Structure 1
Amino acid sequence: MIKCHLSRLMGERRLKIADVARDTGLNRGTITRLYNETASRVELNDIEVLCRYFDVDITALFELIKDE
């Protein structure tokens, strides 16, 4: 399973979904799905934009969790 840490990153910076959508130009629905971890696929460009926006490596945004 892949865990998305977007909600944590946003919480640390006290950002709302609307803030990230406005600042990055990404679709609000895309950000909402990543925030709620309901996204089944994500465009590589969107990942790049978010990593640059939060100034983090991709491993800070996504984590591979081993199935138990």
Structure 2
Amino acid sequence: MQVNIKLNSVLEERKISARELSRMTGVRHPSISDMCNNSIKQLPLASLAKICEALDCDIPDILELKKEPS
């Protein structure tokens, strides 16, 4: 199983840039950029909570669990 971060598509739907989300949440822009590129190695729960609060969404709107192909 693999965790997929869908933040980039959520931001595109809402027409919000990663830089604007960084301003809204106080989460560093490079961290948001890594989340958008699905390349972050560790996702601090506090950052995830701030993002969900700013976007008025729930964790499953940002993260999904995908099965890896066999």
TM-score normalised over the length of structure 1: 0.94
Partner of 1:17: 18
Structure 1: which 5+ residue stretches go unaligned? Answer: none
Instruction: Name the SS for the 1:48 alignment partner.
Output: helix
Matched positions, count: 68
Partner of 1:52: 53
- Considering only aligned residues, what root-mean-square deviation do their CA atoms show, in Å? 0.7
In the alignment, is residue 40 of structure 1 matched against residue 41 of structure 2?
yes
Kindly state the Cα deviation for residue 54 of structure 1 after the two structures are TM-superposed.
1.1
AA aligned to 2:39 is T
- Hey, what's the Cα distance between the residues in 1 that align with 2:57 and 2:46? 15
Partner of 1:30: 31
AA aligned to 2:22 is A
Identity of counterpart residues, as a percentage? 24
Where does structure 1 differ by over 3 angstroms across 4 or more consecutive aligned residues?
none
TM-score normalised over the length of structure 2: 0.92
Kindly state the Cα deviation for residue 13 of structure 1 after the two structures are TM-superposed.
1.0
